[in-house]
Amino acid sequence: MHSVFRGKHFIDLEDFNKEEVDTMLEASFDLKKKFAMGVPTPYLQSQTMFMMFFEQSTRTRNSMEAGLAQLGGHAGFLDSSSMQIAHGESAKDTAIILSRFGHAIACRYCNWERGNKYLNEMAQWSTVPIMNLQCDLYHPFQALADLMTMKEKIGDLKRVKVSIIWAYAESHKKPISVPVSQVLLFPRYGMDVTLAHPKGWELPDWVIEKAKANAARYGGTVTITDNEEEAYRGAHIVIPKNWGNWVTDQTGAALSGATKVIDDKLIANRSWKCTEAKMAIADKDVMYMHALPADRNNEVEDSVIDGPHSIVYDEAENRLHTAKGVMTLLMGGR
């Protein structure tokens, strides 16, 4: 077990070695067990965290806010539109001041080519941990909760086939951060990762290179395909989720973030939907996962997400426990 975490930033899981990620999981499992037993865990008594949101949130905001309360601290919600950021205050000034007021700063900023840069600028100046609640490139809390859920359900993940599959959605051009974090993390646990998407929805080349390097080091594999059936066939876990084609297409980019974009290229791939028929060609015990919110009847049929193979609510619950695990290690510890 690695035990030196206090004060570190949590922006990308690639910043932590496998032993450190394992420790995060161990802490999360311990906190989940104590939560189930009603055992108090006041590990961050009287500590304060500031949560800055540039976009909407359900699971992320509430898992962090409830989690810190259960650890004995307080998380304050900050809508960026009501902060002086809206009048042009810099990331530097915001980070310096908020870090003098409390013990951690968490931020969600998914705007393409802005979010990750903003988080790293805050990290440069903050004297307390900066935690990434999702940016344009990474969603470390989600990937960690996904990994925890898989280990709960399966145990040893070596040779497990997990398929990260692009799915059709009409709500908006979603960030690539969820599949990026997943394709980087899962090979580190020896999984056989298949990344499937239509042409035009590629992830950055550097992501695929790092994912394949992780696979080579830890005994996993990474397969890239534009064949949806190949991804479903024999899969133990499927994660069909939409992401925008930000890498190859800037349509819809705006200062306010991702905007709703339905064009001919998107509609041409409407068949990329998780259905019972596609689930039937996967492993007989296949599990369906999604970070939520799912675009029901576009990304997935109700009969799948509400069916016996779906573990989305267990996955969502683990956002609470992994949030508590990470906060305890980075804000407490030694």
Condensed to tens digits (0 to 9), the pLDDT of residues 89-136 reads 999 999 999 999 999 999 999 999 999 999 999 999 999 999 999 999
Q: What value does the mean pLDDT take over residues 41-59?
A: 96
pLDDT over threshold 90, residue 313: yes
Rounded CA gap, 234 and 69, in Å?
A: 42
Of 169, 128, 155, 113, the closest CA to residue 25 belongs to 155
pLDDT over threshold 90, residue 331: yes
Q: In this predicted structure, what is the pLDDT of residue 2?
A: 79
pLDDT over threshold 90, residue 256: no
Q: In this predicted structure, what is the pLDDT of residue 103?
A: 98
Is the C-alpha dihedral spanning 270, 273, 277, 281 positive or negative? positive
Q: What value does the mean pLDDT take over residues 321-333?
A: 96
Given a contact cutoff of 8 angstroms between Cβ atoms, the answer to whether 215 and 162 are in contact is: no
pLDDT over threshold 80, residue 301: yes
Residue 286, Cα to own-chain centre: how many angstroms? Answer: 21
Q: What is the pLDDT of residues 184-234, one digit of tens each?
A: 999 999 999 999 999 999 999 999 999 999 999 999 999 999 999 999 999
Q: What is the pLDDT of residues 234-243, one digit of tens each?
A: 999 999 999 9
Q: What value does the mean pLDDT take over residues 282-286?
A: 98
pLDDT over threshold 80, residue 260: no
Helix extents (H) in the chain: 18-37, 59-70, 91-101, 115-125, 140-153, 177-185, 205-218, 228-232, 264-267, 276-279, 302-305, 312-331
Local confidence band at 152 (pLDDT 50, 70, 90 cut-offs): very high
- Torsion angle, CA of 101/133/317/329, rounded to 10 degrees? -50
Q: In this predicted structure, what is the pLDDT of residue 140?
A: 98
Q: What value does the mean pLDDT take over residues 270-297?
A: 98
pLDDT over threshold 80, residue 305: yes
Q: In this predicted structure, what is the pLDDT of residue 23?
A: 97
Q: In this predicted structure, what is the pLDDT of residue 187?
A: 98
Q: In this predicted structure, what is the pLDDT of residue 172?
A: 86
Q: What value does the mean pLDDT take over residues 156-174?
A: 96
pLDDT over threshold 90, residue 254: no
